[in-house]
Amino acid sequence: MSKYTEDDLKIELETKEYEYGFYTDIASDTFPVGLNEDIVRAISHRKEEPLWMMHWRIEAFRAWEKMVEPEWANVHYQKPDFQAISYYSAPLSKAKYESLDEVDPELLETFKKLGISIDEQKMLSGVAMDIVVDSVSVATTFKKTLGEKGIIFCSISEAIREYPELVQKYLGSVVPQKDNFYAALNSAVFSDGSFCYIPKGVRCPMELSTYFRINQAGTGQFERTLVIADEGSYVSYLEGCTAPSRDENQLHAAVVELIAMDDAEIKYSTVQNWYPGNKEGKGGVFNFVTKRGLCEKNAKISWTQVETGSAVTWKYPSCILKGDNSVGEFYSIAVTNNFQQADTGTKMIHIGKNTKSTIISKGISAGKSHNSYRGLVKVGPNADNARNFSQCDSLLMGNNCSANTFPYIESKNPSAKIEHEATTSKIGEDQVFYCNQRGIPTEKAIALIVNGFSKDVLNKLPMEFAVEAQKLLEISLEGSVG
Amino acid sequence: MLSIKNLHASIGDKEILKGINLEVKAGEIHAIMGPNGAGKSTLSAVIAGNDTYEVTKGEILLENEDISELAPEERAHKGVFLSFQYPVEIPGVSVTNFMRTAINETRKANGQPEMPANEMLKVIREKSELLEIDRKFLSRSLNEGFSGGEKKRNEIFQMAMLEPKLAILDETDSGLDIDALRIVANGVNKLKSDKNAIIVITHYQRLLDYIVPDFVHVLYNGKIVKSGGKELAYELEEKGYDWIKQEQEA
């Protein structure tokens, strides 16, 4: 029989290793496991932070100690043992490099495997990259071009040292230290992350991009990102992630804060493909992230995310529409396969008048995975004429996965208009056969159907990201039709 | 071109095709007619390789090669095309994108490089003009919200793009008004050559006024019970299928 059946396909794919599952052997400087006030102090000290920063961290740590890990999400997992994690790990070669030649060749090899050629990125795409490997930035490019416009794009550690007044003013202003369990933990121990400031009236001439990557066994990564778009400015920020495979679960608890001042616009795009665990559901990254943006008058924030990775995802990029006429958008594709669990969505908090929000969520579930959309649309008493449109579509493959939608709506203003649409569909055998008949093999057919399903969101991604995202969708869903 | 020998096929325990024999040569148009439930659509699905049906006996030879064990896409790569009676919708995938994928997958399977984008555009322009298709239509999602006529015309457009050796048109006339029927039939006639063959499956003689067959076969109860020239279609139209039924039961 030359016929290649779906079962053959399944077997082939189940045995397929995680594409990015390799480990780079770079000598690391890693803290002992465990967390207490001394560790928090040591992190701050190691990073040569000012005193106010250390106090800020300790305040967060003390709050965290009194908090309980939340359980309301529609996910089930073994809670991490916070005393078994090392909270700081940096590649030993700590110097900032002037050129790529000085960068640890093993590290460059890692990037190569990931398909991230810095050279290419430099030359072709005009993307300035601030690469975060195990918590410390090792390469920053295009800084000069940005500098000429007065744009600051650097690691958060550098920002704390170089631009303390900006950091002190805005850090925690959107996601306070005590916001939630994981935000508090992040505030106490965040190791590095990115900082971006766009001055008044400046349109950032290129997409700003950071590749995050967890690289050291047993080190949780606690990224902290702060993006400030001053009045009338514009920036598009890309965040892409991969992690090598590990047997134990790795914890990732990032915090991202966006501040869009009057008339400013921030576009924040994420492609997340951390290790999802193997086909038995062993291993994989826990991705517990707090992302929130604040919109002042006439400002706009768009979150676009393609989530294909992690064993457990728990993430709700949100917009606080404080200023009148401000706009919030959330475009999401969340893919789960095998035993992955995702509980993701957004919060749109309408405070100002004439505020508008749009939510487009596409959930794709395969294997034995669980995929939930959870979203809150809240309209405050002064948010006259607030508008929201939400659309949540789910695509199921096979009979063992599930999709849930939890839309919460709270309106305290009678002039608010809130629309919610939801659909659930399944990839049909007839669709696959139709594609087959035209010469398109099953695997490709599924990719095509899924891409079509996700098109509304893929279209919102910057070009270079859209291609990567489509590839990711294909990789994540190979062999999952049932 | 196509040679079907003693073909039996079942769905579950139910045998639907009970020994089909059919010879189709390059350059020929064959019409297969028959009452509802005779097995016409099953025959087209089985030739295309739909695994809902199980071939229990017999063989399907395409240019002397048995294709009955091949996956549907492999048959497509070898030049089998089925114009579906009910084309499916694929939301978010444009006609152009779908065609580009289909053509390039076929080329890949046949060891050819991908078709360059400019050539693709040229072919699309040519074929859409041939079939009087507004190119705006090609950026719409495949079959989504298409009228019955648009769906069928789109099937023939795909046939034009893929240039199959063997095209099976399954009830392409159903759901078409007379104008749409004429456009679709004209398209098929323009695509016909001495290098390809066409099998037209239909209930009614109507379509055969436009696509004139060289041979007409009557399928009844899973077998071809009568074959003839195009005059057989007129005879059927006049006498109705009861004539066949009575003959068979007599």
**Among the ranges A86-95, A284-293, A376-385, which has the highest mean pLDDT value?**
A376-385
- Mean pLDDT over A37-52 rounds to 87
CA distance A455 to A467: 12
pLDDT at A112: 58
By percentage, how much of chain A surpasses pLDDT 90?
A: 37
Q: What is the pLDDT of residue A9?
A: 44
> What pLDDT is recorded for position A108?
57
User: How confident is residue A281, by pLDDT bands cut at 50, 70 and 90?
Assistant: confident
**Chain B contact for A449, CB < 8 A?**
yes
* Distance of alpha carbon A159 from alpha carbon A82, whole angstroms: 28
Q: Are the beta carbons of A436 and B73 separated by less than 8 Å?
A: yes
Longest dimension (CA), chain A: 72
Q: Which of A282-296, A467-481, B53-67, B200-214 has the lowest mean pLDDT?
A: A467-481
Strands A327-336 and A356-365: parallel
The neighbour count for residue A411, using CB atoms within 10 Å, is: 18
Please tell me the predicted confidence (pLDDT) of residue A24. Answer: 47
| Domains: count for chain B | 1
- pLDDT tier for residue B86 given thresholds of 50, 70 and 90: very high
Question: pTM for the full model?
Answer: 0.79
Contact assessment for residue A360 and residue A457, using Cβ atoms and an 8 Å cutoff: yes
Scanning the structure block, which residue is given the tokens 């398909």? A115
Residue A242 is predicted with a pLDDT of: 55
Task: Write out chain A residues lying below 8 Å of B93, CB-based.
Answer: 448-449, 451-452, 455
Taking a C-beta distance cutoff of 8 angstroms, is the pair B81, B106 a contact? Answer: no
Interface test with B, best of A395, A438, A456 (most B CBs within 10 A): A438
- Banded pLDDT at A301 (limits 50, 70, 90): very high
Q: Looking at residues A144-169, what average pLDDT do you find? A: 88
Task: Measure CB to CB from residue A448 to each of B70, B71, B93 and give the nearest one.
Answer: B93
Neighbours of B145 (CB within 10 A): 9
Q: Which of A353, A292, A300 is nearest to A319 (CA)?
A: A292
Q: Does A8 touch chain B (CB under 8 A)?
A: no
Rounded mean pLDDT of B196-208?
Answer: 89
Closest alpha carbon within chain B to A442: B73
Number of Cβ atoms within 10 Å of the Cβ of B128: 19
Copy the structure tokens of residue B210: 């436009």
Q: State the pLDDT at residue A105.
A: 61
Question: Is B92 within 8 Å of A453 when comparing Cβ atoms?
Answer: yes
Per-residue confidence at A293, pLDDT binned at 50, 70, 90? very high
Are B202 and B232 contacting, i.e. CB atoms less than 8 angstroms apart?
Answer: no
Report the candidate in A325, A313, A132 with the shortest Cα–Cα distance to residue A216.
A132
Question: Where is pLDDT greater, at A309 or B144?
Answer: B144
ipTM for the predicted complex? 0.95
What is d(CA A151, CA A145) in angstroms, rounded to the nearest whole number?
9
User: What is the pLDDT, as a whole number, of residue B50?
Assistant: 93
Are A235 and A198 a contacting pair, CB within 8 Å?
A: yes
Question: Residue A64 contacts by C-beta under 8 Å, 6 or more apart in sequence?
Answer: A181, A184, A185, A187, A188
In terms of pLDDT, which residue wins out, B6 or A469? B6
**What integer pLDDT is reported at residue A132 of this predicted model?**
52
Q: β-pairing, B197-202 with A152-155? A: unpaired
Say whether residue A452 is in contact with chain B using an 8 A CB cutoff: yes
Q: What is the pLDDT of residue A137?
A: 44
* Cβ–Cβ contact A23 with B under 8 A: no
Task: Identify the residue among B42, B65, B75, B88 best suited for mutation to test binding to A, counting A beta carbons within 10 A and taking the highest.
Answer: B88
| CA B152, B154, B160, B165 torsion-angle sign | negative
Helix or strand run (H / E) with residue A46: helix A37-46
Q: Are A391 and A361 in contact (CB under 8 A)?
A: yes
Given a contact cutoff of 8 angstroms between Cβ atoms, the answer to whether B186 and B155 are in contact is: no
Place of tokens 């404080």: A322
Looking at the partner chain, which of A434, A439, A453 has a beta carbon nearest the beta carbon of B106?
Answer: A439
pLDDT value at A478 more than 70: no
Smallest Cβ–Cβ distance between A4 and the set B71, B82, B142 belongs to: B71
Helices (H), chain B: 40-48, 72-77, 95-109, 117-130, 148-162, 178-191, 231-239, 241-249
Tokens of A336: 């789960």
Return the closest-CA partner of residue A377 out of A408, A340, A342: A408
pLDDT at A408: 93
Taking the C-alpha atoms of residue A214 and residue B150, their distance in angstroms, rounded to an integer, is 51
- pLDDT band of residue A107 (cuts 50, 70, 90) is low
CA distance B79 to chain A (A): 9
Residues on chain A touching B106 (C-beta within 8 angstroms)? 439
Task: Give residue A155's pLDDT.
Answer: 82
pLDDT at A210: 60
pLDDT above 50 (res B23): yes
Q: Which residues contact B144 (CB under 8 A, 6 or more apart)?
A: B89, B90, B91
Helix (H) or strand (E) holding A321: strand A318-321
User: Residue A353, SS3?
Assistant: coil
**How much of chain A, in percent, has pLDDT values that exceed 70?**
77
Residue A457: closest C-alpha in chain B: B92
Residue A128 or residue A52, greater confidence: A52
**DSSP H or E run through A191:** none
* A441/B69 CB distance under 8 A: no
Q: What is the pLDDT of residues A395-427, one digit of tens each?
A: 988 888 888 889 999 999 999 999 999 998 888
Q: What is the mean pLDDT of residues A264-278?
A: 85
Mean pLDDT of A335-345: 86
A8 vs A14: CA distance, rounded Å: 10
Residue A429: list chain B partners with CB under 8 A.
52
Q: Is the model's pLDDT at A97 over the cut of 70?
A: no
Beta-carbon separation of A434 and B88 below 8 A: yes
The confidence score (pLDDT) of residue A33 equals: 74
Residue B22 belongs to domain spanning: 2-249
Distance from CA of A146 to the nearest CA of B (A): 36
pLDDT tens, position by position, B167-201: 999 988 887 888 888 888 988 999 999 999 999 99
Contact at 8 Å (CB) between A251 and A216? Answer: no
- pLDDT at A274 exceeding the cut of 80: no
Q: How far is A7 from chain B (nearest CA, A)?
A: 14
> Can you give the pLDDT at residue A460?
85
Q: What is the DSSP letter of A43?
A: H
Residue with tokens 């676009």: A304
For B102-160, write each residue's pLDDT tens digit.
999 999 999 999 998 889 889 999 999 888 888 888 889 999 999 888 899 899 999 99
- Collect all residues with Cβ–Cβ distance below 8 Å to B214 and sequence separation of at least 6: B28, B29, B30, B229, B230
Give contacts of A426 with chain B, Cβ < 8 Å. Answer: none
Mean pLDDT in residue range B222-230: 91
Least confident of A183-197, A455-469, B170-184: A455-469
Q: Is A153 exposed, middle or buried (0-12, 13-18, 19+ CB in 10 A)?
A: buried
Contacts of B132 (CB under 8 A, 6+ apart): B183, B187
The pLDDT value given to residue A244? 52
> Encoding tokens for residue B114?
């991908």
pLDDT tops 70 at residue A140: no
Average the pLDDT over each of A7-11, A13-17, B34-38 and give the range with the smallest value. Answer: A13-17
pLDDT above 90 (res A347)? yes
Q: Which one-letter amino acid corresponds to residue A31?
A: F
Please state the φ and ψ torsions of residue A427, each to the nearest 5 degrees.
Answer: -70, 120
The rounded percent of chain B whose pLDDT value lies above 90 is 65
Type of residue at B104: N
Count of alpha carbons within 13 angstroms of residue A64, beta-carbon side = 22
Chain A residue numbers with beta carbons less than 8 Å from the beta carbon of B141 are 452
Least confident of A188-197, A267-276, A299-308, B28-37: A267-276
Q: What is the DSSP letter of A223?
A: B
- The beta strands (E) that lie in A27-127 are given as 28-30, 89-91
Q: Given B48, B97, B101, which is nearest A437 (Cβ)?
A: B48
Specify the CATH number for the domain of residue B46.
3.40.50.300
Q: Is the model's pLDDT at A91 over the cut of 80?
A: no
DSSP letter at A13 equals: H
Contact B49 A444 (CB under 8 A): no
Cα B141 to Cα B136: distance, rounded to the nearest angstrom: 11
pLDDT at A12: 44
Q: Which residues of B touch A (CB under 8 A)?
A: 48-50, 52, 69-74, 76-77, 80-82, 84, 87-93, 97-98, 101-103, 105-106, 109, 141-142, 158, 162
Both tokens assigned to A119:
């050279």
Tell me the C-alpha distance between A300 and A329, whole Å.
8
More confident residue, B192 or A71: B192
Lookup result for tokens 């073994």: A78
Give which of A8, A362, A434, A474 to mutate to test B binding, by max B Cβ within 10 Å.
A434
Work out whether strand B54-62 and strand B65-66 pair parallel, antiparallel, or are unpaired: antiparallel
